[in-house]
């Protein structure tokens, strides 16, 4: 059995990074020794909850944030970031200042990764993990890779107040991406954006799909959630910029009178604002908030609803080109999906018109809701089609084949550098 070692690195909590969990499980099943080094910033140890599921996978946590870190640790992290920011902003544009100024966890993440047992490959998730992966690879004569879950340079609008943040991201990515053994991206358009921005070979798209084991046993003709009929949306954080206000506008005029069910943790003040919006439209009783759930339960829980909703607003470049994981989660749940008319969604609107419907405004969204909810046989057929597509194409077992070929080719010597296509 192959026991080469792969270290997966993320500054985030594991519950906020299901992609890294899928990678860890796939590597473990392929015979690799896996070490996850992740952030921890929530009072409840969600990472430990998930680690109990991932047997034989080592995990190291790096604490930061005032909720879990000691006062002295938190103060040191924030002070270091502040000083680095000040120096970087005053023309001292060197690598370490960009790195330490980017995120308060970067310094401790570098220390944790470089002091851990050596690995053959370090895979960084998110910009804050890139310096740590590169430093450890340099120290141990290993390779490092990067997974772009978003187009991070396009996360924020092109406004003057974001200039420093974007400059640090560009500095870090341009310093380390050319030396990566490979780069993957969570959507084809994100892959295109990275190739265009940094002049690197086009990253390999690896979609945010889920293991088939997460799916319900079979699709159902319609949802069972009460009250219904139901439009469903989930995310780690319920907040603005996700089209939820448009969904309420549509519900207010839809003949089928659907209910909007939201799963996640509301951002500070947002639940009050959204409830007020619903009340002003006369649909306050049609808005429902549901508790967050384990990543492994989302697809089975999702199957209880009628239709999935993805309403991303094209307010940043990343929002326009990213594919959220909820899109593929809905299909695995057996939910037809109504999506906003952004560039990332266009190929799926064309490929799957039987279970993916687009909208540009509230009246069009209301029309889509009435079309699906007003036809019981059509809704059942759309649910069957979504479930079948997830079972055959849009699942992690299918997508992992491509990803593991990158890792295997690199570590088994078939590719000296998979990213640069050196054979």
Tens of pLDDT, residue by residue over 4-53, are 999 999 999 888 888 998 999 999 999 999 999 999 988 877 777 677 66
pLDDT band per the 50, 70, 90 thresholds, residue 1: very low
Structure tokens at 179: 């030396």
* Three-state SS sequence of 182-217: CEEECCHHHHHHHHHHHCCCCCEECCCCCCHHHCCC
Task: For residue 421, tell me if it sits in a domain.
Answer: no
Residue range of the domain that includes 63 = 5-209+396-411
Task: For residue 191, tell me if it sits in a domain.
Answer: yes
Same domain, 362 and 237: yes
Same domain, 260 and 183: no
Contact 48, 81 (CB under 8 A): no
Contact 362, 340 (CB under 8 A): no
pLDDT in tens, 283-320: 999 999 999 988 889 999 999 999 999 999 888 999 99
Q: What pairs with residue 123 in β-bridges?
A: 8, 145
Section 404-411 average pLDDT? 93
Q: Is the pLDDT of residue 336 over 90?
A: yes
pLDDT of residue 43: 84
pLDDT averaged over every residue in the chain? 92
Same domain, 176 and 71: yes
Q: Beta strands 259-266 and 287-290: pairing type?
A: parallel
Same domain, 222 and 348: yes
Q: How many C-beta neighbours within 10 Å does residue 125 have?
A: 23
Nearest CA to 304 out of 394, 391, 244, 383 is that of 383
pLDDT of residue 39: 93
State pTM to two decimals.
0.91
Task: For residue 144, tell me if it sits in a domain.
Answer: yes
Task: For residue 416, tell me if it sits in a domain.
Answer: no
pLDDT of residue 93: 79
How many structural domains does the chain have? 2
Instruction: Find out whether the peptide bond into 229 is cis, omega within 30 degrees of 0.
Output: yes
Same domain, 240 and 307: yes
Task: For residue 153, tell me if it sits in a domain.
Answer: yes
Q: Report the CATH number that the domain containing residue 346 is assigned in CATH.
A: 3.40.50.2000
Same domain, 324 and 406: no
Section 312-332 average pLDDT? 94
Q: Is the pLDDT of residue 104 over 50?
A: yes
């Amino acid at each position: 059995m192959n026991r080469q070692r792969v270290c997966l690195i993320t500054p985030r909590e594991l519950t906020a990074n299901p992609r890294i969990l899928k990678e860890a499980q796939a590597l473990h099943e392929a015979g690799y020794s896996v070490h996850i080094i992740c952030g921890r910033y929530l009072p409840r140890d969600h990472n430990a909850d998930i680690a109990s599921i991932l047997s034989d996978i080592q995990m190291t946590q790096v604490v930061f944030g005032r909720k879990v870190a000691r006062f002295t640790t938190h103060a040191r992290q924030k002070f270091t970031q502040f000083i680095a920011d000040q120096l970087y902003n005053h023309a001292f544009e060197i690598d370490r200042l960009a790195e330490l100024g980017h995120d308060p966890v970067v310094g401790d993440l570098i220390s944790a990764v470089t002091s851990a047992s050596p690995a053959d490959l370090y895979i960084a998730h998110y910009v804050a993990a890139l310096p740590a992966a590169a430093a450890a690879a340099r120290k141990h004569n290993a390779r490092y890779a990067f997974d772009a879950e978003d187009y991070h340079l396009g996360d924020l609008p092109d406004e003057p107040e974001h200039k420093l943040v974007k400059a640090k991201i560009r500095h870090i990515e341009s310093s380390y991406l050319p030396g990566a053994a490979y780069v993957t991206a969570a959507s084809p358009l994100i892959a295109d954006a990275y190739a265009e921005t940094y002049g690197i070979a086009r990253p390999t798209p690896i979609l945010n799909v889920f293991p088939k084991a997460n799916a319900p046993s079979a699709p159902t003709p319609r949802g069972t959630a009460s009250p219904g009929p139901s439009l469903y949306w989930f995310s780690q954080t319920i907040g603005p910029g996700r089209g939820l206000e448009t969904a309420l506008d549509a519900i207010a005029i839809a003949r089928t009178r659907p209910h909007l069910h939201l799963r996640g943790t509301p951002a500070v003040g947002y639940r009050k604002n959204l409830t007020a919006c619903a009340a002003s439209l006369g649909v306050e009783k049609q808005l429902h908030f549901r508790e967050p759930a384990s990543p492994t339960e989302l697809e089975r829980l999702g199957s209880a609803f009628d239709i999935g909703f993805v309403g991303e607003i094209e307010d940043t470049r990343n929002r326009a080109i990213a594919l959220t994981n909820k899109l593929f989660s809905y299909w695995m749940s057996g939910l037809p999906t109504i999506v906003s008319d952004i560039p990332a969604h266009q190929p799926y609107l064309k490929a799957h018109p039987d279970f993916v419907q687009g909208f540009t405004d509230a009246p069009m969204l209301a029309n889509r809701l009435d079309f699906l909810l007003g036809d019981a046989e059509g809704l059942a057929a759309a649910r069957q089609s979504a479930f079948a597509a997830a079972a055959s194409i849009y699942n992690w077992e299918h997508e992992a084949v491509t990803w593991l070929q990158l890792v295997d080719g690199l570590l088994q010597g078939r590719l000296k550098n998979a990213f640069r296509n050196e054979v």
